[in-house]
């Protein structure tokens, strides 16, 4: 039996049949319900959805039964639903919050509970800590109550809801449909068996793009891969884009909050580069001047160079879109981005939206008529080249001790590069001058450290990454 259920960077996740059980889902949802009632928000109602994982609809129904037992009315999404769609509906209908039964991009054996508060972004630490405190007594024998489904429906506390059309209409305020239509784009879409089916492709078809689709059905096993749009998981998309002579390949993760972009020659484009290209494109077409772009500490400083060209400021946050979303919600930023393929705009939702990101890339390609690699070359010519990489390193006990030593007493150089300043916003970011840096960020859930590096040439990047990762070996 679980002794604690902890929320990570975006909700609680666990392995199906082990920690992720109907009992534990009901416990987590009851803790959320109690929190909403304490905040005097429960009467505003909650929207509940799920992704395409095993038994998702059953877990979502169980969640509504618990909420109904606490007198909280529920809108239950009528099919698998993207996380950003749920966020959009929370804001549009001024709901108390939303629950999505989703493990996002995690492997198929996982599922999770994502809680989105009334402001529409991922729950902040103070909210998840309050919920976790309520979970503890429930795990140790506290009474969990739920109202049987038929009675909850009969009493009007639960009703089925289709959130799609309103969300797609909302996207039209941020994406130029006419521009996409005039570009006569040929696009291949890969939802990776996830929730963007019927969302991303419908918007693009309505805009006039010619679409081909891959993996366009529900598969709880996600074809045996993680539903995460990376260079590795989009191999078929890359081949199809080349074979079909398409302008663009677009992919999303399991709950459609992350994006993956493939250029016309089948090259996968890193999310850092996509974000910087979009800052450049949107600052021009939307005439952004004088505002801020917000990015996480692990995200490329190429964004900073682009922002400076337009007189825009840059705000840096810890890793986790909740911190970016908070600034978007407060009107303190025009756009937010993180290296793990998260992106959103002010006035949309303060949650990462892979569908929006894909649509903005499609608009950019349609308007410019250029490949993403050509756009990148042009950007590098104007602001200088920047190369970024991430490497995840599994830690043995000796390396874990070494990591703690490095975090407590950072080195004064990485290889031949002297450390000019240290950023402890999240992990340990060693600034090496001339836009070179190396970041060590421990995972909060497993014996793993994420190593990020950035430099002005591929050779320098290799040098920074090699020397940085060697710190773990040397110190151990």
Tell me what the mean pLDDT of segment 182-196 comes to: 97
Question: How far apart are the C-alpha atoms of 270 and 346, rounded to whole Å?
Answer: 23
* pLDDT value of position 2: 63
Does position 242 have pLDDT exceeding 50, yes or no? yes
Question: How far apart are the C-alpha atoms of 34 and 151, rounded to whole Å?
Answer: 21
Does position 474 have pLDDT exceeding 70, yes or no? no
Rounded mean pLDDT of the chain? 95
Question: How far apart are the C-alpha atoms of 396 and 55, rounded to whole Å?
Answer: 36
* pLDDT value of position 3: 65
* pLDDT value of position 476: 44
* pLDDT value of position 163: 98
User: How is 322-382 classified by DSSP, letter by letter?
Assistant: HHHHHHHHTT--SEEEETTTEEEETTS-SS--HHHHHHHHHHHHHHH---HHHHHHHHHHH
Give how far Cα 370 sits from Cα of 111, 204, 263, 376, Å.
39, 19, 10, 10
pTM of this prediction exceeds 0.85: yes
* pLDDT value of position 475: 53
* pLDDT value of position 339: 97
Tell me what the mean pLDDT of segment 110-138 comes to: 95
- Ordered by where they begin, the domains of the chain are 12-164 (3.40.120.10), 172-269 (3.40.120.10), 271-352 (3.40.120.10), 387-475 (3.30.310.50)
Going by their DSSP bridges, the two strands 46-50 and 97-101 should be labelled as: parallel
List, for residues 155-185, the tens digit of each pLDDT value.
999 999 999 999 999 999 999 999 999 989 9
**Ranges 95-109, 130-144, 347-361, 442-456: which has the least confidence:** 442-456
User: Phi and psi for 422 in degrees, rounded to 5?
Assistant: -125, 130
Q: 186, 107 in Cβ contact below 8 A?
A: no
Query: What is the pLDDT confidence band of residue 263, given thresholds at 50, 70 and 90?
Result: very high
* pLDDT value of position 9: 67
């Amino acid at each position: 039996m679980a002794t604690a259920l902890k929320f990570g960077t975006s909700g609680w996740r666990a392995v199906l049949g082990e920690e992720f059980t109907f009992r534990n889902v009901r416990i987590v949802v009851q803790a959320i319900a109690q929190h909403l009632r304490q905040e005097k928000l429960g009467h505003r109602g909650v929207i509940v959805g799920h992704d395409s994982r095993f038994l998702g609809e059953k877990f979502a129904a169980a969640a509504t039964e618990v909420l109904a037992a606490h007198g909280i009315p529920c809108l239950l999404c009528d099919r698998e639903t993207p996380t950003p769609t749920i966020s959009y509906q929370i804001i549009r209908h001024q709901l108390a919050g939303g629950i999505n039964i989703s493990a996002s991009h995690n492997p198929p054996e996982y599922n999770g509970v994502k809680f989105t508060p009334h402001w529409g972004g991922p729950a902040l630490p103070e909210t998840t800590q309050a919920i976790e405190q309520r979970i503890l007594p429930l795990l140790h024998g506290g009474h969990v109550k739920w109202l049987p489904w038929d009675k909850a429906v009969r009493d009007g506390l639960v009703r089925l809801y289709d959130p799609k059309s309103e969300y797609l209409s909302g996207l039209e305020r941020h994406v130029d449909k006419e521009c996409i239509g005039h570009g006569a784009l040929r696009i291949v879409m890969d939802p990776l068996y996830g929730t963007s089916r019927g969302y991303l492709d419908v918007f693009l078809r309505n805009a006039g793009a010619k679409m081909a689709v891959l993996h366009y059905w529900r598969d709880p096993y996600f074809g045996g891969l993680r539903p995460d749009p990376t260079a590795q998981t989009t191999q078929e998309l890359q081949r199809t884009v080349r074979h079909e002579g398409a302008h663009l390949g677009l992919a999303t993760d399991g709950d459609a909050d992350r994006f993956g972009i493939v250029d016309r020659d089948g090259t996968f484009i890193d999310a850092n580069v996509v974000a910087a290209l979009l800052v450049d494109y949107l600052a021009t077409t939307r005439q952004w001047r004088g505002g801020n772009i917000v990015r996480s500490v692990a995200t490329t400083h190429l964004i900073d160079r682009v922002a400076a060209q337009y007189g825009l400021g840059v705000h840096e946050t810890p890793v986790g879109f909740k911190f970016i979303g908070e600034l978007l919600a407060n009107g303190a930023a025009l756009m937010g981005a993180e290296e793990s393929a998260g992106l959103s705009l002010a006035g949309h939702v303060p949650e990462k939206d892979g569908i929006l990101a894909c649509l903005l890339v499609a608009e950019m390609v349609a308007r410019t008529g250029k490949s993403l690699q050509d756009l990148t070359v042009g950007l590098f010519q104007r602001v200088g080249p920047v190369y970024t990489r991430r490497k995840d390193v599994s830690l043995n006990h000796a390396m874990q001790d070494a990591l703690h030593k490095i975090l407590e007493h950072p080195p004064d150089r990485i290889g031949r590069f002297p450390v000019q300043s240290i950023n402890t916003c999240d992990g340990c970011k060693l600034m090496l001058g001339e836009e070179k840096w190396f970041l060590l960020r421990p995972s909060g859930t497993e014996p793993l450290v994420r190593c990020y590096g950035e430099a002005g040439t591929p050779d320098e990047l290799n040098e920074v990454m090699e020397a940085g990762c060697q710190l773990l070996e040397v110190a151990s």
